[in-house]
């Protein structure tokens, strides 16, 4: 499964939204109704799933699905 597919599957699980309803510019908090706990747990899951370590100052800038996916892909390329 590609990074994007795995990533979207996780978003779908955490947002309780089906894959075909997800759009890249959906915002985690405002559109997908993530609580702080949901969002931070989701980030932890991303770290585990993609074997990356997220930087704290970058985490707070993430608002949308596309931004989070780009960050994971960048970290994978660096790693």
For position 79 contacting other proteins by CB under 8 A, the verdict is no
For position 38 contacting other proteins by CB under 8 A, the verdict is yes
Of the pair 24, 44, the CB lying nearest other proteins is at 44
Of the pair 1, 60, the CB lying nearest other proteins is at 60
Of the pair 7, 42, the CB lying nearest other proteins is at 42
For position 36 contacting other proteins by CB under 8 A, the verdict is yes
The dihedrals phi and psi of 9, each to the nearest 5 degrees, come to: -65, -40
Question: What 8-state DSSP symbol labels residue 5?
Answer: H
């Amino acid at each position: 499964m590609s990074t994007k597919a795995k990533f979207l599957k996780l978003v779908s699980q955490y947002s309780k939204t089906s894959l075909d309803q997800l759009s890249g510019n959906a915002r985690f908090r405002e559109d997908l109704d993530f609580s702080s706990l949901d969002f931070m747990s989701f980030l932890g899951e991303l770290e585990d799933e993609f074997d990356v370590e997220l930087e704290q100052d970058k985490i707070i800038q993430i608002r949308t699905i596309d931004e989070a996916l780009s960050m994971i892909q960048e970290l994978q390329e660096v790693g």
